[in-house]
């Protein structure tokens, strides 16, 4: 793959990462809001089962998990693209590994993995 195509992939991955990074705080804030409501409910000595319908814990947990997963996938894609660019520009996989403090084998797996 050409360096220009790799750069386009990298820029798309960075855009995805930005979007995923923006969603995560919103999902965390919703989760924190729920926890505050649960805490107040418990302090008041009210039955906890009353909160379930109101807070929709499964939906909030799913949103937070999805936001985290998306951020991890976007980060992985950005790393894969960057390592591929560096290797295409002539850096050895060992040099890339040293620069990022990871193993040469991990760089090789990133560079050689299927593109998403």
Cα(25)–Cα(53) distance, rounded to whole angstroms?
Answer: 24
- Residue 71: domain span: 3-112
- In this prediction, residue 116 carries a pLDDT of 60
Look at the chain and report how many structural domains it folds into: 1
pTM for the model stands at 0.79
**7: pLDDT strictly greater than 90:** yes
Q: 57 falls in which pLDDT band (50, 70, 90)?
A: confident
Contact 70, 23 (CB under 8 A): yes
Contact 38, 48 (CB under 8 A): yes
């Amino acid at each position: 793959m050409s360096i220009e195509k790799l750069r386009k992939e990298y820029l798309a991955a960075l855009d995805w990462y930005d979007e995923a990074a923006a969603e995560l705080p919103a999902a965390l804030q919703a989760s924190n809001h729920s926890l505050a409501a649960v805490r107040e409910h418990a302090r008041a000595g009210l039955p906890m089962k009353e909160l379930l319908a109101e807070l929709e814990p499964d939906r909030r947990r799913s949103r937070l998990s999805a936001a985290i997963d998306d951020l991890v996938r976007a980060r992985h894609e950005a790393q894969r693209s960057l390592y591929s660019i560096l290797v295409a520009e002539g850096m050895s996989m060992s040099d890339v590994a040293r620069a990022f403090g990871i193993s040469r084998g991990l760089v090789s797996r990133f560079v050689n993995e299927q593109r998403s």
